[in-house]
Structure 1
Amino acid sequence: MKLFLTSIACTGIIFLSSALASEPAGKIDQAEIYTVSSNSLAAIVRLGGSVVPEKIVNFTAQMPGDVNFVAGSEGDAFKNGAILVSLNMKSLIAKRQQAMSQLASAEAAYRNAQVQYNLERVNPNSQGNQLLGGAPDLFSTFSDPMRSMMGQGNQRVERNSSLYARSVGIETASNSVQQAQAAIRELDESLKNTISYAPFDGVIVNKMVVEGDIVQPGMPLINFADITRLQIRVDVPSRLLKVIKVGSKAQAQLDGETNLVPVVVERIFPMADSGGHTTTVKFALPAGIEAHSGMYAEIILADPGSKHSALPAIPKSAIVWRGSLPAVFQVRENGSLKLRLIRVDEMPLNGMVSVISGIKAGDRIVTQPGPNTHISR
């Protein structure tokens, strides 16, 4: 048996063609033989993107102060509700104690205003009566009617005015109580903002502060993410959106990997970028895939706008691998098998693979070669 190899550099890939003479082998079931046909397949487009977590939270400082506590470093995992970062809150606690004192004073003033209103309603001008032993009230019994007859006063109006003044005192005191309560609620929210809690189970993916740092509102603290579910974020040209929809399947290739990974379209953003005429699309990676946030990845999509020239198409199951080289078992006219090294397209479509070279339309091949399929020696 003789082996002839020819090496040709083509688009960065070394193409090997071989002709392995063979002796007649065992019989092959006709159902396992496939006649190669030509097929014009849609062109393939590779779109670069990056791996991102499905859920990620960027914590920023909401209050100025010193960093009092940081839970861990990059890669440390925490449960939902765990404290991740906290700021020094001594000044806020002091302000809250002051606000509590103001609230107590306001409540005392409110109670006093109610008592004074009831006193005025039951015993009008009580302070003046106490000073002169009740004489002003006795005099007013005779003087008020005379004043009203002469148009110099109105007892009913004066009494309503006194009661209204007391009711205004109650309303003012009530407003003071509400202001003090609002100040306490504001301080309580500020105290909550000094502590950052984990919103879900996840890990710290980026840490920007350490204990003792002084931060101002808006400064980044940490990035927290759920890395159990990852996505590939890609900017897809608008012309390709017609071939994908939410739930449709595609294939991806992670940086440094040779095998393709099945992905599913999870979200298509509703607005395209006016500058690049692209739309952001997120593809969900399978659970358990070994990938990291920020890793480069490529999504492989069919481009319906252009077509390959007619190429032989074979089932993916017919391909066997000899090292890193794809090959097929060709069935010759006398029924013997010959191993042919081929060069395939990068992406199988619908279970069929287009062959760039190595076989031609009309050749017959074994569709599902097994461990016992071999050439005769």
Structure 2
Amino acid sequence: MAVYRAGLPPQKSKFRFLQFIAALCLTLAFPVANAWRIVDVEQQLVGSSSVLGGTVIPYKEVVLNAQMPGRVTFISGSEGDSFTKNALLVALDDDELQAKRQAIQSRIYSANSALRNARAQYNRELWAPQSRDVTRAPGMAIPGLFDNMFTKNFASMFDSGNPGLVRQSDLIQRGTGMNQAYAGFLEAQAGLAELDAKIRDTKSLAPFDGVITNKLVEVGDTVQPGQPLLKFAHIKYLRVKVDVPVRLVKNLKLKQMVPVRLDGSNKDIMARVSRIYPVADPSRHTVKIKLDLPVDVVAGPGMYVRVKVPTIDMDQAVEAPVVPETAILHRGSLPSIFILNKQGVAEMRIVRTGERTGKGMVVISSGLSGNERIIDNPPPGIVSGWQPKKSK
């Protein structure tokens, strides 16, 4: 005959032990919910909006075209490769231009020599005029000693020559020769500068930090001036380009925050209006608008994006309460929020939600006046009449 000890029957004891193990497993399997907190209902300007389709574009994008005819000898990378400002991207063959450059350098050397000679002749005429040289005056075909003694006197007696006028004419002649030599030197230098510019045009440098988005040529291709070589973009910062109907443009202002939603995402992010084009498209009657996306957004050029443009003037917008998404409960067909009344007791309110404004906030269309205190992340099992425990 079996003997049982005092206490619970063995079946009930075993059952409670299994309940304890199951509860412990559930506690370890599911993460602990965030602690509840009491927050004030915020007010925000809201209005109706229209959803327009836009495209993500780079902050800056350029198309590098060939400036000179030639053969492509170097391409620095492929699509997606990053480069810093002034990095060499594409180079063309410049052998012929380098040969011409050597010829122009020879011309510069020759022009420089001619200029130095012309300056020497001018200085000689300035300090040792040839008009005072007796060999230039009509002499008597006798030795220079007698010419120096008698020629000038006889020339002056017979009114033969004007030494001052002759000296001035010689100076002008030498000065003109020096100026012509200097002009030839400058012309040769200008030719060198022009050729250097053409040599620089055979190389395409990165105008800013960015990446290659599209490579349009390969090494060995022969290109002509104006032919596209590659597309280069700055994608660290991204923008949204959207065509807005003319009737809605008046509702947008520079630096205004507009909600947008990337394709494949279920959350809105706020983008800032950075540019409103002053001219409308005459065929589509739309105005191009650009918006700056946040720096940390995960997107890429070419992505489709939905832009919510206000359909009424923001000056006519009304204030509506906004609450965190985590404060809304969905226990039935209608969403609800728990508020704290003046006695500090929880009350359930049935609300109607509107659009999401970003940063985890939702507009409440009805059910709240805007001056309540609500319970965010309400604890499980909360009901009307629940009272938060006072901190010790």
What is the TM-score of this pair, normalised by structure 1? 0.71
Q: Distance in 1 between matches of 2:134 and 2:218?
A: 65
Count of residue pairs brought into register by the alignment: 325
Shift of 1:231: 0.8
Amino acid at match of 2:130: P
1:86 pairs with 88, 91, 107, which one?
91
Q: Distance in 2 between matches of 1:136 and 1:283?
A: 98
Amino acid at match of 1:180: A
Shift of 1:48: 2.2
Q: Distance in 1 between matches of 2:184 and 2:173?
A: 17
Q: Distance in 2 between matches of 1:330 and 1:178?
A: 84
**Deviation per residue, 1:37-86 (Å, 9 max, x gap):** xxx96321122221111122321112221111001111111233321111
Amino acid at match of 2:170: S
Q: Distance in 1 between matches of 2:55 and 2:158?
A: 92
Name the structure with the higher strand share.
Answer: 1
Indicate yes or no: 2:211 matched with 1:203.
yes
Higher relative contact order (CA 8 A, sep 6+): 1
Matches within 5 A, 1:132-281: 138=148, 141-142=152-153, 144-146=155-157, 148=159, 153-269=161-277, 271-273=278-280, 275=282, 276-281=284-289
Amino acid at match of 2:270: P
- Where 1:236 maps in the other structure, the secondary structure is strand
Shift of 1:252: 0.5
**Deviation per residue, 1:300-359 (Å, 9 max, x gap):** 1221169xxx9x98745344579xx9951378xxx9979x9x99655559955366xxx9
Q: Distance in 1 between matches of 2:313 and 2:376?
A: 33
Residue ranges of structure 2 left out of the alignment (5+ in a row): 1-35, 339-345, 385-392
2:336 pairs with 314, 329, 333, which one?
329
Q: Percent identity?
A: 35
**Deviation per residue, 1:221-254 (Å, 9 max, x gap):** 1111221110112233444444433332121011
Larger radius of gyration: 2
Paired position in structure 2 for 1:71: 76
- Where 1:304 maps in the other structure, the secondary structure is coil
Contact 1:113 1:173 in 2 (8 A): yes
Name the Cα RMSD after superposition. Answer: 4.3
C-alpha spacing 1:98/1:143, structure 2 compared with 1 (3 Å): farther
Q: Distance in 2 between matches of 1:253 and 1:337?
A: 32
Contact 1:262 1:285 in 2 (8 A): yes
C-alpha spacing 1:375/1:211, structure 2 compared with 1 (3 Å): farther
Indicate yes or no: 2:121 matched with 1:116.
yes
Q: Distance in 2 between matches of 1:120 and 1:329?
A: 107
C-alpha spacing 1:360/1:156, structure 2 compared with 1 (3 Å): closer
Q: Distance in 2 between matches of 1:129 and 1:135?
A: 14
C-alpha spacing 1:50/1:215, structure 2 compared with 1 (3 Å): same
Shift of 1:147: 5.3
Matches within 5 A, 1:277-296: 277-296=285-304
Q: Distance in 2 between matches of 1:370 and 1:57?
A: 52
**Deviation per residue, 1:130-178 (Å, 9 max, x gap):** 9x87599757514542454xxx753322221122111100000001111
Contact 1:329 1:369 in 2 (8 A): no
Contact 1:254 1:296 in 2 (8 A): yes
C-alpha spacing 1:78/1:234, structure 2 compared with 1 (3 Å): same
Q: Distance in 2 between matches of 1:127 and 1:367?
A: 118
What is the TM-score of this pair, normalised by structure 2? 0.68
C-alpha spacing 1:115/1:303, structure 2 compared with 1 (3 Å): same
Q: Distance in 1 between matches of 2:337 and 2:119?
A: 104
- Where 1:217 maps in the other structure, the secondary structure is coil
Shift of 1:258: 2.2
Contact 2:86 2:208 in 1 (8 A): yes
Contact 1:204 1:222 in 2 (8 A): yes
C-alpha spacing 1:144/1:361, structure 2 compared with 1 (3 Å): same
Amino acid at match of 2:188: A
Shift of 1:367: 6.2
Amino acid at match of 1:103: I
